[in-house]
Amino acid sequence: MGANAGLLRDRYLRVAVKDKEKHPSARRDLFEAMCKSLEQSEAIYRAAYQRHLTSLQADALQKPKAEGLFCTKGRMVIGLGGENVLETGLTLHHTYGTPQIPGTALKGLASHYCDQVWGICDQGQGFKRWKKGESGGEYHKALFGTTDDSGHIVFHDAWITSETMVKSIQSDVMTPHHGDYYSGEAAPTDFDNPNPVTFLSVVGTFHVEVSCDVPGEQGQKWAKLAFDLLAEALKEWGIGGKTNAGYGRLVLDNQDESSAQSSARTVDSTIASLGSEKKEIQRLSQPVVKKLKYKKGEIVEVTKVADPKEKRGAAYFTADDCIGGLVVLGTPPSIEIGQKARLEIIGVMEKEGLYNFAAVGAKREPSRRVRDKRGRR
């Protein structure tokens, strides 16, 4: 048996899906193997989860943030319609095979909830600060950006805690009754037979974090506001598939009704304080233009942080102006996340807001033109 549930699902189904009637136990055996695989990966994931938290803490030294632990109320299924060898999917971490909520899903949920719930309440008062795409919409634009700008809030991937990971994947079943009706072949009747479809769902506690690229107290206000908005959306709407059937609800760990009301009052007061800062709102709703402090050829002190594009898995470093980049020449320093080193800047990409780093003293390969010229001598 393997120790990666995602790898088991994608590569180790013993028979083709079309032959499931001949081998009815194959799907069940695969699901059981996926559930048991989490026990084998517990130690590895615990270390990875701690590294993940450490990288977020290092990033928080430069960016205001808000975070919390969210528990599932019932079950949750993310990526139900994703591509895989079965009819039903589940989003799992690409390296560890553990349940994960992508940051893009959290941002999409919060953006839609802001537009449909907070935006409707806003319109009733004669404003359109929270509506998406409306004239105005300053708050929505500052939080979530536009097609040309990503906004000021970063929604990080939500990792399941190492304490709840082992029992997190659960076998589940749905029983659609009117298959012929849904395929357009016949009208629904009371005589249709149910067709049980097994799938996997998730229970557990997830670490959710948002951060803001605006420094100082103002950035902390925005991070807290985005976090409270997301918490409300997760509780009221849920995330993932089958939310109409009660799936996907998450609530802050140990939150009772009184604390929920207190949180709502905090949101109201935060909105009120932001509303009095019109110029700041207008500034934040403009596209982000990162100012690069250093020039090509300078040697600077950098901090190793988690790669913003996690699937790339590269060694990523940021300078003290919060601008980051990859080591494209030489060997990256062999240090842990949060530790510091010195690198040379060999490229400045102002439009993208990035640096290209090189190991100090790394020798550059001569260009092809120079090599050809030397060869003719």
Give the mean pLDDT of the chain.
81
The pLDDT tens digits of the residues spanning 271-314 come to 555 544 444 554 555 545 556 889 999 999 998 887 766 556 67
Q: Using CA atoms, how far apart are residues 236 and 234, in angstroms rounded to an integer?
A: 6
Stated as kind and residue range, the H or E segment containing 325 is: strand 324-329
Q: What tens digit of pLDDT does each residue of 28-54 get? A: 888 888 888 899 999 999 999 999 999
Q: Please count the helices (runs of H) and the strands (runs of E) in the chain.
A: 11, 13
| pTM as predicted | 0.69
CB 250 within 8 A of CB 71: yes
What are the structural domains, with CATH classification, of the chain? Answer: 62-284 (no CATH), 289-377 (2.40.50.140)
pLDDT at residue 62, rounded to an integer? 72
Q: Is the pLDDT of residue 103 over 70?
A: yes
pLDDT digits (tens, 9 = 90+) for 153-201: 999 999 999 999 999 999 888 887 777 777 777 887 777 778 788 888 9
120 or 224, which is more confident? 224
Q: Which residue has the higher pLDDT, 163 or 214?
A: 163
What pLDDT sits at residue 257? 45
- Extended beta strands in 57-156, E state: 65-72, 100-101, 153-155
